[in-house]
Amino acid sequence: MIVAAFPGQGSQTPGFLIPWLEAPGARERLERYAEAAGVDLVAAGTEWDADQIRDTSVAQPLIVAASILSWQQLSDSERAAFGGVAGHSVGEIAALVAANVISDIDGMRLVGARGRAMAEAAALAETGMSAVVGGKEPDVLEAISAAGVAPANFNGGGQIVAAGSIDGLAALGENAPRGARVIPLQVAGAFHTAYMSSASDALQAAVDEISLVKDPALPLWTNSDGSLVSSGARALELIVHQVQNPVRWDLCMAAFADGGITGLVEFAPAGALTGLAKRGLRGTPAVALKTPDDLVAARDLLAETAH
């Protein structure tokens, strides 16, 4: 079973879309996605600098657009050969498109609304996020609680991301759990916590505008608890729920393992999830689609599973 994985915010880098736009029709498709999302994605993916594409309202649609573009570089039969799909945080929207729950245009409208809503929520208070790498999970969770912040991402492989006030994150850094490092992340707010509560209504309104919702055509795992979701309507409910609740990528990886995963392909902008897989899914072959050149390795992995 090969799993298709779609990355979350922070995976973008300046100019990363340039090689992907060389495919026939890719630039025109991205322009349509830009119109749907309300962001100049061509400029963002080819010209804008790191600070410009770090903006939540830009980063989220840019990442999802890239994931969908790279997914569409595979043939229908190649896409159907995957044993299931999952996305990390905002990557769940790309996973919904890949599983044919919603159309690519509806996905881009939804992620545009999500990015704007979360950016507005982040502007209401000075907050941030820090990765806690290493240490024992009970000790890490105790230190996070003692600092007055919250666990936002359980990424597996010994990594938990804390989110909350800047002062709280500073206190966590000064009192790091035994055997752990606390690494501040370059994000604009405390995502996946109660600080994002004001974004939920706007996201729900965007979900309500989607007229065609199908049940997943491929197995679809949710960040909520790592379970499989068989209802398209339920999958969209969980997208709204996810904004102010923790991402449980650790449980997703555990579910992949329980399902008999034999490989993982991470779609553009790739690298973060294959990195987590090295620690959380030890020994599982993983391909990161950083450029179209990496499609050969993805096809080879799919072919190995087919035989």
Residue pair 27/42 in contact by the 8 Å Cβ criterion: yes
The single residue of 11, 57, 192, 224 carrying the catalytic annotation is 192
211 a catalytic residue: no
Pairing of strands 150-156, 2-6: unpaired
Nearest to 265 by CA among 218, 227, 232, 216: 218
Query: Are 44 and 53 in contact, with CB atoms under 8 Å apart?
Result: yes
Nearest CA to 211 among 71, 102, 295, 110?
102
Residue among 11, 89, 130, 224 flagged as catalytic? 89
Query: Could you confirm whether 192 is annotated as catalytic?
Result: yes
> How far apart are the C-alpha atoms of 285 and 178, rounded to whole Å?
31
Whether 305 contacts 299, CB under 8 Å = no
Element (H, E) at 73: none
> What residues contact 125, with CB distance under 8 A and at least 6 apart?
165, 189, 190, 195
- Catalytically annotated residues: 89, 192
